[in-house]
Every structure is written in structure tokens, then in C-alpha cells.
Amino acid sequence: MPQYTLNIAHLYGDLMNTYGDYGNIIALRYYAEQIDVTVKTTVISLDNTFKSADFDFVLFGGGQDYEQTIVAKDLKSKAAELQHYIENDGTLLAICGGFQLLGSHMIMADGQRVDGIGALDLYTINMHDSQVKVAKDARLTGNIVIKNNQTGEVYHGFENHQGRTFIGDQELALGTVISGNGNNGMDNHEGIIHRNVFGSYFHGPILTRNGNLAKRILATSLSQKYPDINWEDNLKQLPTESF
């Protein structure tokens, strides 16, 4: 009888859902159910209130440019609470557009500037920018492999983005690019890890193809809520999907 619950907020799950990112929730549920944890998902969209205390994990996926600009406007009303969630070590996975919107700002493909919430030290320019020295004017599309420098784990995924993201010197990348492009195709960084926030351009989706990371994120989320249980050990016993 499951007595533990993981409450997931799928931020703008109806608008920022373009690249199969929902699969990350399917993967978390898959591992959670095997250790008797029930997963409950709530979509928090335009005009809904995000209450950080209600959630143990937040997924913020990628969307189309048009939807992303609409989301960026609405996100202002949720920015303070989201910031509060992040600074209190809440666990969050942000993919592609969601990753970009956690930074200070981004320049869309058409040159339009969109403000992010500035929770992380990162910003995004577009593929036409003169700073772009690799694949200028082209999307970065293809398979990607990175290595996480904390754990040595290797992650596989698919990237498809026009924006080029740069993380601050004090920020840690999710991994170093082994093959593919990563954040901008130039500095070998892919994604970000900031407290318990994981940002990335990885589709695939990232947690379905990289079971180690799924388990890490699940353990982190559950440990915040149920600190007396050794979730890492519980999860270690499960087979890990990695491909």
C-alpha cells in the first residue's frame, strides 16, 4: 500500500509540451511506483496560481516560439514563488524553452527579446547573433552525448534548438559535451545544475533514456519531503533504463 506521494507540477503542461517532454513524468512515475510512491501530476498553466508548498517536483518543458512568448508574459506572475521554490532547494527539471525562461532573458529567432525570471545565471541569444561562431543561422539539431562531471555518468539525448545559451561562471553545467552541440555549440557546456534545478536542452526525453538521472532527481525530490528514508538506496535496487 503506497503511503508516500510525489506531487508534480507540470508548468504550462498544455503549452510547453512540444517535444515529448511529458515522458519525463512517465519515467519518474515508472521508478516511483516500484518503490511504492504514488505520483500525482497537476498542470499549472496560464492564470493558475503556483504554490511552491504544494509540490515536490516541477517539470517545465519546451514549447513553440509563439506559445513560449505567451508563457513568458504569464510567468511574471509566478516568478517570485518559483524563485522561492528554487532557493528552498525544490527539485525542478527545465527543458529547452523552460530552461531558457529560468534565465535572465532570451532573444527569439525573430529578434524579439523575452524576459525570463532570472532565477539562474544564464541568458540566451539567437542563432543569428554575431557571437555565434558555430552553425550560425542554423538550428542545433541531432543526437547528443554528454558526461556529468560530478558522477561520471554519460547521458544520451536529442537536441533541437535555435537559441544559444550561456551559463555564468559560477554555475555548473549538467555535463560536458562528448558529441553534439550543447548549450551553444562553443563552450562544451550542456545544461545547468543549480541547487536542485536541472536545466537541459535534452529531449529523448532525458529521464526516459537516462535512468541514473531519473533516479537522482526522484531521490532528491523525495528526500526533501521524507528526509528519514534513504531513497537513494531504495532506488539503487531497481534496474536502470539507459540507452
Q: Which residues bind another protein (CB under 8 A)?
A: 10, 13-15, 17-23, 26-27, 29-30, 43, 45-46, 64-67, 70, 141-143, 158, 160, 203-205, 208-209, 241, 243
Judge whether 139 is annotated as a binding position. Answer: yes
Q: Which is nearer to another protein, 21 or 56 (CB)?
A: 21
User: Under a CB-based contact definition with an 8 Å cutoff, are residues 146 and 182 in contact?
Assistant: yes
User: Shortest Cβ distance from residue 210 to another protein (Å)?
Assistant: 11
Distance between CA atoms of 180 and 137, rounded to whole angstroms? 17
Task: Please name the amino acid found at residue 100.
Answer: Q
Distance between CA atoms of 91 and 59, rounded to whole angstroms? 9
User: Shortest Cβ distance from residue 36 to another protein (Å)?
Assistant: 16
Helix (H) or strand (E) holding 158: strand 154-161
What is the set of active-site residues?
A: 96, 203
Q: Which is nearer to another protein, 20 or 118 (CB)?
A: 20
- 190: nearest Cα among 171, 209, 212: 171
Q: Which is nearer to another protein, 65 or 171 (CB)?
A: 65
User: Under a CB-based contact definition with an 8 Å cutoff, are residues 31 and 215 in contact?
Assistant: yes
User: Shortest Cβ distance from residue 13 to another protein (Å)?
Assistant: 5
Q: Which is nearer to another protein, 83 or 242 (CB)?
A: 242
User: Under a CB-based contact definition with an 8 Å cutoff, are residues 171 and 121 in contact?
Assistant: yes
User: Shortest Cβ distance from residue 239 to another protein (Å)?
Assistant: 10
- 39: nearest Cα among 231, 223, 218: 218
The binding site for substrate consists of 139
